[in-house]
Amino acid sequence: MYFKNGYKDDVAIIGMGCTKFGERWDTGLEDLIIEAAFEAFQDAGVGPKDIEACYFANTNAPNNCSGTPVADALKMHGIPITRNENWCTAGHVALINAVLAVKSGMCDIAMAIGAEKLKDKGFGGLGVGRGLNPVRETRRDAPGSFALIAEAYFKKYGLTYEQGKTMLAKIDVKNHYNGSLSPKAHFHNVITIEQAMNAPLIASPLGLYDCCGTSDGGAAAIVCRADIAKKFRTDPIYVKGFGCATDSMTPHYRSRNFDWTSFEALRNCAKMAYEMAGIKNPREELDLAEVHDCFSITEMCIYEDFGFCERGTAWRNVEEGFFERTGGLPVNVDGGLKCFGHPVGASGIRMTYEIYKQLQYKVDNPKRQLKDVHMGLSQTFGGPPQIASCVILGNE
């Protein structure tokens, strides 16, 4: 556990930026870095020369394994710039590293930035999620793996195929409606239950609208010591806690204690963040959440592993509208990965951007602004899946 002797409220976010997500044929990776970073600089009232350390999330930069794309784009010289490619959690890992740098006393101001150009790769998909073992996993891809999770969930909790598909479709409809209100989202289509149910199958039972898209995008965050945060702005947002957990083995190779409906990395990540933030009942204490809806079934499993509802009841909560923007715990109020797509290194910071803006009451479309929000969580889940990260923010 990080900082067992105290952590909460020692670090604040003073600026964030987010590009438009989508098929950004007009930009390169460095353009996305600049677009995200300079919104964050303007938001915080600082410039590149004020940043003392930078953490870069990226999984697909061609011929590059360092932080130099950020150094080149932002003309940052003489400071540590570290790149990580922790699958889909890379953005959150970059943000956590920036927070740790400030908390440790290494620096007063640090930046986390994630950016990805996926549409120019020349082949489909995100470039992540396929197994690394050349013998055991050459046949596996992300939709196929998560389709197995959906089938296991349906079977374990007694849902028929139609019931299960309907629950997933309701998550799709919720997120697409929310995304239709988000100017920076890739997709703005409002869909119906019937459209989601009848969409082409990608990996049964997952259809087209159950799967996130492939997009280009970038996002950035600037963090500093909490005791100096109000020198930069009157409404900083405070880091209440964070979690990061990695399984020691791909879960589905541990057949004796893995049933495909719950993930140890998710549970451990949540436990770490909740203990740090002092949260006992996340269902009641969180006001909103952005979770990793790479597939609709992933969002449903996260509800349970993160304690948003009791085990085996997520589908009932979906039926009741508990996770809609007018429900008890709104989830993915910007449309999530379903509508932003998943430029892998950028996603975790983009999700945190939504929490940050909601807690400041400064979202980009007044129709999207939630009322009376004080604490929110953003979360990513990556790999086979094998690693989970999250950050909890508060405005008081």
Q: Which residues are catalytic?
A: 88, 342
Distance in angstroms (rounded) separating the CA atoms of residues 52 and 82: 12
In sequence order, what DSSP letters do the residues of 72-107 get, joined into one string? Answer: HHHT--SS-EEEE--GGGHHHHHHHHHHHHHHTTS-
Distance in angstroms (rounded) separating the CA atoms of residues 114 and 94: 8
- Please confirm whether the linkage preceding 183 is cis (ω < 30° from 0): no
Distance in angstroms (rounded) separating the CA atoms of residues 70 and 84: 13
CB 312 within 8 A of CB 301: no
Q: What are phi and psi of 171, to 5 degrees?
A: -65, -45
Distance in angstroms (rounded) separating the CA atoms of residues 295 and 337: 9
Give the number of other CB atoms < 10 A from CB of residue 59: 21
- 255 DSSP 8-state letter: T
